[in-house]
């Protein structure tokens, strides 16, 4: 077997070096920590300082602490929602989040695949700094336990915290191993691992660290969504503000959908009944099988309709519970549209006329929908072109809660944009992205978004007479060339040099860690 060549950068990093905290105000929280005053005496000095700040009148927002529901779709492209231009079907309930709130047109996911994108979201670290740079979601301990991550910020603020769906950062059921519960969630219900989340009919699921048999034929996604709504109701009953994180697996991997909706859409698109969607669940524990899907085109539409109905149920629940005005709902997706399980993003225009899909650094791989609704705070019907990204979510939530931002964060709060458009919103100098396919060094790419400019380059495998290396940097003007067709690099040597410098500055090579090609 040919030996894999080394990348012309330092080893593509998969695990981050430890980074000191930005301030002494944060230290790692533990599950079920309460913040009563008697406990302060037992805490280290700096943690006492932080917690004492929580009890200082006027430091918290004057308004009631809002509930947060953050819904993260999986591999849903920018063009997969009718509010972003989908013509083949409607997503009226998801669209409501945007029409009754705000639509972002330049929001970027944390990466072009699941695990690193989620790591960026939870840590607030930019893609060139974060611990995870590719899909290694079957490994455990991917997140640095010394970092204070998103759910822990909510824990510190006295919130109930729940996660429902695909964790994507290791197993969720192994005793003694990191899992959502050790990273700040009070409750987790979802898939046992990222790989098993490729099927919606696994043999088991995990609830609060326990692996539970799943009834044969039960569509796991629906069970998980039921748990998310029970969590919302229970939190309100308990009188606690809540952070409800719903990293749904929809519409990722196998095009499994509830049977009645699948049948409905097969009648709409009978011309695709000859197409069989296949997905193999690799890895895992070897016992999961993945049922083929007759007419995956119908399966995709049915999955989206099902999710859209459930978002409608959640919005109705907020009204019923009387928390509509005190709940911020955000809907987004972890990366661009996928090409698996018989899904046909070209048929659906899933990338919204952008170039590329999941696993590449063109806009279709990383630019993602984001809708945010908070009646009474976010004026309805707004659209923003503010350039933002997943690593902005942590500082946004910290600002919302009146808490310091954990040191590792590279983001900028977009709360000013949510509250009102205007000059208060700070902007990024640039956004940097990199992707290293977990176990394959041959696939590596980098991108920069700086204003209207987009820079892109990818690794070139060794070919006859040519060494392996990074291909020349490409430059696109997204204002006039959103599909990245017209490479301007030859005409703009100064911008090429500037972008190369930004790539160098933003990419942190990590030493002493496993190389991508040697990961097991
Ligand atoms: Ca994904």
pLDDT digit string, tens, across residues 375-426: 999 999 999 999 999 999 999 999 999 999 999 999 999 999 999 866 699 9
Q: Is the pLDDT of residue 2 over 70?
A: no
CA of 390 to the centre of ligand 1 (A): 13
Q: Note whether 101 and 378 are within 8 A (CB).
A: yes
CB contact at 8 A, 209 and 175 = yes
Distance 207 CA to ligand 1 centre (A): 22
**Span from the CA of 74 to the centroid of ligand 1 (angstroms):** 4
Ligand 1 centroid, distance to 334 Cα (angstroms): 5
Q: How high is the pLDDT of residue 516?
A: 37
Q: Are strands 388-389 and 431-436 parallel, antiparallel or unpaired?
A: unpaired
- Reported as a single tens digit per residue, the pLDDT across 435-463 is 987 645 567 899 999 999 999 999 887 77
Six-digit token string for 337: 């549209």
- 195-230: buried (b, 16+ CB within 10 Å) or exposed (e) per residue? bbbbbbbbbbbbbeeeeeebeeeebbbebbbebbbe
Averaged pLDDT for residues 191-207: 94
Distance CA 426, CA 153 (A): 22
Does residue 126 or residue 40 have the better pLDDT? Answer: 126
Return the bridge partners of 383, or none. 103
Strand ranges for 273-430 from DSSP E: 276-277, 293-294, 327-333, 367-373, 382-384, 388-389
When pLDDT is cut at 50, 70 and 90, the band that residue 287 belongs to is confident
Q: Please, is 376 exposed, middle or buried when counting C-beta atoms within 10 Å of its C-beta (0-12, 13-18, 19+)? A: exposed
C-alpha 275/C-alpha 266 separation (Å) is 11
Res 190 pLDDT > 60: yes
pLDDT for 281 equals 82
Q: Count the helix, strand and coil residues of the chain and give each as a percent rounded to the nearest 5.
A: 30, 15, 55
Would you state the structure tokens that stand for residue 26, as one six-digit string?
């944060």
Least confident window among 41-45, 100-104, 260-264: 41-45
Judge whether residue 134 has pLDDT over 90. no
Give, for 99, the enclosing helix (H) or strand (E). Answer: helix 92-99
Output the six-digit token pair for 519: 């990961």
Domains of the chain plus CATH, in order, are 68-419 (3.40.720.10)
Quick: pLDDT tens for 32-61: 333 332 333 333 333 334 444 443 333 344
pLDDT tens sequence across 332-342: 999 999 998 99
The predicted model gives 284-310 an average pLDDT of 90
- pLDDT, residue 20, reads 34
Q: How far is the CA of 149 from the centre of ligand 1 (A)?
A: 20
Residue 108 CA to ligand 1 centre (angstroms): 13
> Nearest CA to 83 among 65, 100, 69?
100
pLDDT tens column, 481-512: 999 999 999 999 999 999 999 999 999 876 53
pLDDT digits (tens, 9 = 90+) for 351-384: 998 999 999 999 999 999 999 999 999 999 999 9
Query: What residues have their beta carbon closer than 5 A to ion ligand 1?
Result: 74-75, 114, 334-335
The sign one gets for the Cα dihedral 141, 507, 29, 121 is negative
User: Which tokens is 116 given?
Assistant: 């690193």
* Between 497 and 513, residue with greater pLDDT: 497
Q: Binning pLDDT at 50, 70 and 90, where does residue 240 land?
A: very high
Rounded distance, CA 147 to CA 514, Å? 21
d(CA 156, CA 361): 35
CB 304 within 8 A of CB 250: yes
Nearest CA among 445, 438, 495 for reference residue 132:
438
> Residue 75 Cα, ligand 1 centroid: separation in angstroms?
4
Name the residue among 196, 236, 205, 245 with its Cα closest to residue 223. Answer: 205
pLDDT of residue 280: 83
Answer whether 72's CB lies under 8 Å from 250's CB. Answer: no
Position 140 scores a pLDDT of 85
What is the three-state SS of 334-369?
A: CCCCCCCCCCCHHHHCCCCCCCCCCCCCCHHHHEEE
Whole-number Å distance, alpha carbon 292 to ligand 1 midpoint, is: 20
pLDDT at 460: 81
Q: Please compute the mean of the pLDDT values over residues 159-184 and round it to a whole number.
A: 96
Mean pLDDT of the chain: 86
pLDDT of residue 54: 45
pLDDT of res. 465? 78
The span from the CA of 382 to the CA of 181, in Å, is 36
Show the CA angle centred on residue 230, arms to residues 226 and 232, nearest 5°. 120
According to the model, what pLDDT value does residue 204 have?
95
- pLDDT surpasses 80 at 466: no
Query: In percent, how much of the chain has pLDDT > 70?
Result: 83
DSSP state of 473: P
pLDDT of residue 300: 97
Which of 131, 149, 117 is closest to 405 using CA atoms?
A: 149
Is the pLDDT reported for residue 197 higher than 60? Answer: yes
Crossing angle of helices 259-268 and 296-320, in 10° steps, is 130
- State in Å: Cα 115 to ligand 1 middle: 8
Distance 71 CA to ligand 1 centre (A): 13
Q: Cβ of 500: how many Cβ atoms within 10 Å?
A: 16
């Amino acid at each position: 077997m040919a030996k894999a060549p080394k990348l012309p950068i330092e080893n593509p990093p998969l695990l981050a070096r430890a980074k000191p905290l930005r301030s002494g105000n944060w230290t790692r929280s533990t599950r079920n920590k309460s913040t009563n005053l008697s406990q302060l005496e037992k805490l280290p000095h700096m943690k006492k300082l932080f917690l004492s700040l929580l009890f200082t009148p006027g430091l918290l927002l004057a308004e009631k602490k809002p509930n947060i529901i953050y819904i993260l779709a999986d591999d849903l492209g920018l063009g997969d929602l009718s509010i972003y231009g989908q013509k083949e079907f409607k997503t009226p309930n998801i669209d409501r989040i945007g029409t009754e709130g705000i639509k972002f047109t330049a929001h970027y996911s944390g990466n072009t695949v699941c695990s690193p994108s989620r790591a960026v979201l939870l840590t607030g670290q930019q893609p060139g700094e974060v611990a995870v740079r590719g899909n290694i979601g079957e490994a455990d301990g991917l997140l640095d336990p010394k970092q204070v991550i998103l759910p822990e910020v909510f824990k510190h603020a006295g919130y109930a915290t729940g996660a429902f769906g695909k964790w994507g950062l290791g197993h969720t059921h192994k005793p003694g191993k990191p899992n959502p519960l050790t990273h700040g969630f009070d409750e987790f219900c979802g898939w046992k691992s990222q790989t098993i989340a490729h099927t919606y009919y696994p043999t088991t699921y995990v609830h609060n660290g326990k692996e539970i048999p799943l009834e044969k034929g039960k569509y796991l996604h629906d069970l998980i969504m039921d748990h998310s709504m029970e969590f919302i109701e229970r939190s309100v009953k308990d009188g606690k503000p809540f952070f409800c994180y719903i990293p749904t697996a929809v519409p990722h991997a196998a095009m499994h959908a509830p049977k009645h909706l699948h049948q409905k859409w097969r009648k709409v698109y009978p011309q695709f009944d000859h197409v069989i969607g296949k997905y193999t669940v690799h890895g895992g524990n070897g016992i999961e099988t993945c049922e083929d899907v007759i007419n995956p085109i119908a399966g995709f539409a049915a999955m989206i309709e099902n999710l859209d109905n459930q978002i409608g149920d959640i919005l109705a629940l907020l009204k019923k519970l009387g928390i509509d005005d005190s709940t911020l709902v955000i809907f987004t997706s972890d990366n661009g549209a996928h090409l698996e399980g018989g899904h046909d993003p070209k048929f659906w225009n899933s990338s919204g006329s952008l170039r590329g899909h999941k696993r590449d650094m063109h806009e279709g791989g990383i630019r993602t929908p984001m809708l945010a609704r908070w009646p009474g705070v976010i004026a309805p019907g707004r659209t923003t072109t503010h350039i933002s990204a997943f690593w902005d979510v942590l500082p946004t939530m910290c600002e919302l809660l009146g808490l310091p931002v954990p040191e590792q964060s590279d983001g900028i709060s977009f709360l000013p944009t949510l509250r009102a458009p205007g000059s208060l919103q700070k902007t990024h100098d640039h956004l940097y992205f990199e992707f290293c396919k977990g176990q394959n060094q041959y696939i590596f790419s980098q991108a920069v978004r700086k204003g209207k400019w987009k820079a892109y380059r990818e690794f070139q495998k060794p070919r006859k007479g040519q060494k392996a290396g990074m291909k020349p940097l490409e430059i696109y003007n997204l204002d006039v060339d959103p599909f990245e067709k017209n490479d301007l690099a030859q005409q703009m040597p100064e911008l090429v040099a500037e972008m190369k410098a930004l790539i160098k500055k933003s990419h942190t090579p990590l030493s002493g860690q496993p190389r991508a090609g040697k990961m097991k």
